[in-house]
Amino acid sequence: MQEDVIVELVELFSISRLLQVALVVFIAWLLLRILHAGLQQLIKRFPRYRLQMGQVYPVIRIFMWFLVIAYIIFGLIKPPQTIVFAVLGSLGLAIGLAAQGGVRNLLAGVMMIFNPPFRVGDMVHFGGHYGEVIRLDLSVTWLRTLDDNVIMVPNSAVLENAVANANSGELSEMVVINIDLPRTIPIQEVRSLAMEAAVASPYTYLKKPVSVIMESRYDFGFLLRLVIKVYVVDVRLERRLSSDVTERFIEALHEQGISGAHGDTAEHALIDEPA
Amino acid sequence: MTNTTQSKFLTAAAATVSRLYQQLSRLLGRQAHEQAEPVRVHADLCLAQAARLDRHYADLALPEALLQAFSSEPLAAGDTRFIGREDQLSRLLAALEMWRAGHSSMVAVTGPQGCGLSSFLQQLPLRVADNESCRYGKLTHRPYDINDTLVMLGAIVGGKPSVGSVEELVEYINGLPPSVFVIDNGHFLACRIMGANKAIRIFGAVMVATQHRHLWVLGCQEYAWRRLVYVYRADRYFADRIELPLFSEPELSQCLTNRLQASEFALSAGSTGADAQTPTLLARQLSTLYKLCDGKPDYAFFCFLGSLLVHDESRQLELQPVVAADFSILKQLISEELFTLAEVASHGQLSIDDHRAVFRCSREESWLLLERLYRQCLLDKHETTAEPDYHLVPQYSNVIGSYLANANYLY
């Protein structure tokens, strides 16, 4: 029985059939390249819609390869049922034993197609990393962190951990800037300066509200934490906005002589990373 | 699969790829060379810059009367070249009636740069009754501190040379006979410079505190108005906002025809077109002209004058095909340059010091960046003051604004 199956398999994979398969794969690959290049051009032409356009490609690519595989198996090779069952059985066993993690990632990838927690271009906390989603594959997701590292995160992390999406398909996202100040500062004046610094930055997205709140905290002494919540015009400028607002604010404190007036200097302020 | 089926499949696939490529190319604007009518392209965007424009028109040997008729300067009250805007004028008159009936009101008139905002505002004195006072004032710079604000407002209401405090100014303005105060160049109030916030709030507060006695009409460019709304919630304080759109095709036609009549020149083959008003030659080019300038009068004048040939003896004009400008240089700009253009567009104009304050860079960096954009002919500059003020080349402001909005730099 096994010998028959092997003979049938060898007959199925003749040179001409393999060439046909290669041709179909090549055409599918070419179509995807053209589609990708076209989408990239569209994104260049309409940058405002880059996130919406970017989310189309991963889905199309996965469906395209599904179709190609189905066409190759049932349209070109057309294996007899015995071989199909034999191959499926062997594959099932092999996958079941050796590729549990991979299958898990694949399933998570399929789930992400129908219920996407993020899209290409979103800023996410995912698998213990924070960065921009630059590519979505069936089993892994690629992130570019703020330090310009590219990280591959298995999709199964979606099933195991919470995913935080900072912008959910929009170009703007909220940036939280924490600045710790001595408790002796004149609160109203400082608050007003922080607000003005946030609005003055060219990277601030003014269509959405800017807010400044104060919190009391203890860190080797009582401090006031100034929390500036501001939206950035483009997720890629998150760090630049954070730095710009902080610099403007500290400079304004110096100009107003606020630090000196209360015996503290602005250099003593502790500035946190954006959340 | 049979050979016939396979070959059909391959043919269909090849045809699909080819069709997809053609569609994509068309969508991405890469088939210009295949168009039936080749479009001539301006090699030099700089022709529209103030310093070059006069020389350009001199090279074309355009008569002075024609240049004056097609001047982009604001039209004075009653100028026959002012056309359209009936709906907007009636809304302004309705606001005037409300004010006469004793309702507190402030009105904002907004529109894209070059839409004829100043001309529109200058028509208001004609609608005011003889016993009513109407003062038209232009902001010439942005208020950086409270004293500056008080002086500017004092000048607009025609008041005391020196006012000590906000309360004193409010009291003085409320003591004046009821008047209509028209403030042009409101874009100077949309300022993103640290320290100016308080001055601008006080400017608005004085208007609000005196609106029960006077009607305030603020003219402001569209992007600057949006800034005022986002930052100061200005729309909450204004009873009405009158939007001036760019001209429609018939309005543009009427505008060009009126100006031609004012110049006392005639297009050759002077019979009239389909609408019995537009000269035939103009009617033929009108659609192209409208598509090029998107209804923006100053850009339309620039293109129109650039395509005229003058016959001295007969005082007849000949219209050559209208020439499109090439704005592909915008695609080569880097992020800093695009941000600079966006801030210039929303501030109306920026000096080197203003740019430095907005972007927190050194004076040299600001100068380099602004000069580079000036040399690329996307910015123009006024050099009347000690320090030049850079602004978008007026004719191109709409194209640049659309590009920046699409690229998410302007909103």
Domains, chain A, ordered by start: 2-98 (no CATH), 173-271 (3.30.70.100)
Tell me which of A26, A189, A206 to substitute to probe the interface with B (most B C-beta atoms closer than 10 Å): A206
Q: Residue B409's CB: how many other CB atoms inside 10 A?
A: 25
Contact (CB, 8 A) for B410 and B345: yes
What does the buried/exposed string (b/e) look like for B44-71 if buried means 16 or more CB atoms within 10 Å of the residue's CB? ebbbbbeeebeebbeeeebbeebbebbe
Could you tell me the pLDDT band of residue B393, with boundaries at 50, 70 and 90? Answer: very high
Nearest to B337 by CA among B290, B386, B381, B378: B378
Chain B hits for A203, Cβ within 8 Å: 339
Q: Using CB atoms, pick whichever of B197, B358, B408 lies closest to residue A202.
A: B358
Question: Inter-chain contact B29–A205, Cβ cutoff 8 Å?
Answer: no
Chain A residues inside the 8 Å CB shell of B407: 47-48
pTM: 0.77
A151 and A142 in contact (C-beta within 8 Å)?
yes
Closest by Cβ to A48, choosing from B17, B27, B406: B406
C-alpha distances (whole Å) from A146 to each of A203, A237, A274 are 17, 10, 11
Encode pLDDT of A132-189 as tens digits: 998 888 888 999 998 888 999 888 887 778 888 888 888 899 999 999 998 888 999 9
All residues of chain B having their beta carbon less than 8 Å from the beta carbon of residue A252 are: 194
Provide CATH 1.10.10.10 ranges for chain B.
Answer: 328-406
Please list, in sequence order, all residues whose beta carbon lies within 8 angstroms of the beta carbon of residue A114, skipping any fewer than 6 positions away.
none
pLDDT at A110: 82
Q: Which residues of A touch B223 (CB under 8 A)?
A: none
What pLDDT was estimated at residue A266?
A: 37
d(CA B107, CA B95) in angstroms, rounded, equals 7
Q: What is the pLDDT of residue A109?
A: 84
Q: How confident is the model at residue A264 (pLDDT cuts 50, 70, 90)?
A: very low
Cβ–Cβ under 8 Å, residues B323 and B306: yes
Which chain A residues touch B339 with a CB distance below 8 Å?
A: 202-203
Does residue A218 register a pLDDT over 90? no
For A49: left if phi > 0, alpha if psi spans -120 to 50, otherwise beta; the answer is alpha
Q: How many CB atoms lie within 10 A of CB B225?
A: 26
Question: Measured between CA atoms, how close is B27 to chain A, in angstroms?
Answer: 8
- Contact between B172 and B159 under an 8 Å Cβ cutoff? The reply is yes
Distance to chain B for A121, nearest Cα, Å? 15
**Which residues does chain A have within 8 Å of residue B406's beta carbon, measured at their own beta carbons?**
45-48
pLDDT at B49 over 60: yes
The Cα A230–Cα B231 span in angstroms is 12
Task: Measure B358 CA to nearest chain A CA, in Å.
Answer: 7
* d(C-alpha B368, C-alpha A210), whole Å: 32
Could you give the CA distance from residue B347 to residue B227 in angstroms, rounded to a whole number? Answer: 9
CA atoms within 13 A on the CB side of B203: 29
DSSP state string for B327-396: -GGGGG--HHHHHHHHHHHHHS-EEHHHHHHHHT--HHHHHHHHHHHHHTTSEEEE-SSSS-EEEE-GGG
Inter-chain touch A202–B411, beta carbons under 8 Å: no
Scored b (16 or more CB within 10 A) or e, A78-109 reads ebeeebeebeeeeeeeeeeeeeeeeebbbebb
Residue B309: pLDDT band with limits 50, 70, 90: confident
pLDDT classification of A274: cutoffs 50, 70, 90: very low
Please state the rounded mean pLDDT for residues B389-395. 92
* Whether pLDDT at B384 is above 90: no
Cα gap B382→B351, rounded to integer Å: 10
Per the listing, tokens 């998150």 go with A238
| Those residues with Cβ within 8 angstroms of residue B168's Cβ, 6 or more apart along the chain or in another chain | none
Q: Which of B145, B153, B147 is nearest to B186 (CA)?
A: B153
Report the residue of B19, B228, B230, B347 to disrupt the A interface, i.e. the one with the largest count of A CBs within 10 Å: B230
Please give the structure tokens belonging to residue A128.
């213990």
Sign of CA dihedral B9, B10, B15, B20: positive
**CATH level 2 (architecture), domain B86-243:** 3-Layer(aba) Sandwich (3.40)
Residues A47, B408: C-beta atoms closer than 8 Å = yes
Q: What is the mean pLDDT of residues A7-35?
A: 85
Cα(B194)–Cα(A257) distance, integer angstroms: 15
Determine whether the interchain pair B1/A75 forms a contact, defined as Cβ–Cβ distance below 8 Å: yes
Q: Mind listing the pLDDT tens digit for each residue in B230-257?
A: 999 999 999 999 999 999 999 999 898 8
Q: Which of B17, B29, B197 sits opposite A196 (nearest CB)?
A: B197
Residue B242, Cβ density class (10 Å: 0-12 exposed, 13-18 middle, ≥19 buried): buried
Q: What is the signed CA dihedral for A31, A33, A64, A142, rounded to 10 degrees?
A: 180
User: What is the residue-averaged pLDDT of chain B?
Assistant: 84
By the 8 A CB rule, do B111 and B222 touch?
Answer: yes
Q: Which of A17-31, B304-318, B382-396 has the lowest mean pLDDT?
A: B304-318
Report d(CA B45, CA B28) in Å as an integer: 23
Write down the H helix ranges in A46-138. Answer: 50-54, 56-71, 81-98, 100-114
Does position B278 have pLDDT exceeding 80, yes or no?
Answer: no
Q: Is A165 in a helix, a strand, or coil? A: strand
Range with lowest mean pLDDT among A82-86, B218-222, B249-253, B367-371: A82-86
Average pLDDT estimate for A3-27 = 80
Residue B150: CB atoms within 10 Å = 24
Higher pLDDT among residues B374 and B22, named by residue: B374
Question: Would strands B316-319 and B266-267 be described as parallel, antiparallel, or unpaired?
Answer: parallel
Q: Give the C-alpha distances (Å, rounded to integers) separating B170 from B106, B136, B211, B214, B383.
A: 16, 19, 10, 12, 35
What CATH number should be reported for the domain whose range is B328-406? 1.10.10.10
Does the beta-carbon distance from B360 to A252 stay under 8 Å? no
> Residues in chain B whose beta carbon is closer than 8 A to a beta carbon of chain A?
1, 6, 10, 13, 17, 20-21, 24, 27-29, 192-195, 197, 227, 230-231, 331, 339, 342-343, 358-360, 405-409, 411
Residue A222 CB neighbours (<10 A): 11
pLDDT given at position A155: 87
Minimal C-alpha gap between A256 and chain B (Å): 11
Alpha-carbon gap: A39 to the closest alpha carbon of chain B (Å)? 9
Count Cβ–Cβ pairs < 8 Å, chain A vs chain B. Answer: 70
Q: Per-residue pLDDT tens for A38-94?
A: 888 888 888 878 877 887 888 888 888 889 988 988 888 887 777 778 878 887 777
Chain segment B333-365, per-residue pLDDT in tens: 999 999 999 999 999 989 999 999 999 999 999
Instruction: Answer yes or no: do A200 and B24 touch at CB < 8 A.
Output: no
Q: Among the residues of B176-248, which ranges form H helices? A: 196-210, 222-232
Least confident stretch, A3-12, A149-158, B265-274: B265-274
Find the range with the poorest average confidence among A104-113, B169-178, B339-348. Answer: A104-113
How much is the pLDDT for B115?
92
- The helix or strand, by DSSP H or E, that contains position B272, with its residue range, turns out to be none
B20 CB neighbours in chain A (<8 A) are 31, 34-35, 38
Compute the distance between CA of residue B162 and CA of residue B147 in angstroms, rounded to an integer. 9
- What is the residue whose two structure tokens read 């995807």? A32
In the sheet that A211-218 helps form, which strands lie side by side, from edge to edge?
A211-218, A222-232, A173-182, A270-271
Residue B222: name the closest of B246, B197, B194, B198 by CA.
Answer: B246
Instruction: Count the residues in chain B.
Output: 411
- Report d(CA B337, CA B358) in Å as an integer: 13
What would the pLDDT profile of B191-206 be if each residue is shown by its tens digit?
888 888 889 999 999 9
pLDDT at residue B280 in the model: 66
ipTM, two decimals: 0.79
For chain B, what is the largest distance between any 2 Cα atoms, rounded to a whole number of angstroms?
97
Beta pairing class for A222-232 and A164-165:
unpaired
pLDDT at residue number B145: 86
Question: Which of A20, A44, A171 lies closest to B408 in CB terms?
Answer: A171
Distance CA B370, CA B224 (A): 20
Q: Where in chain B is the domain with CATH 3.40.50.300?
A: 86-243
Residue B292, min C-alpha distance to chain A (Å): 19
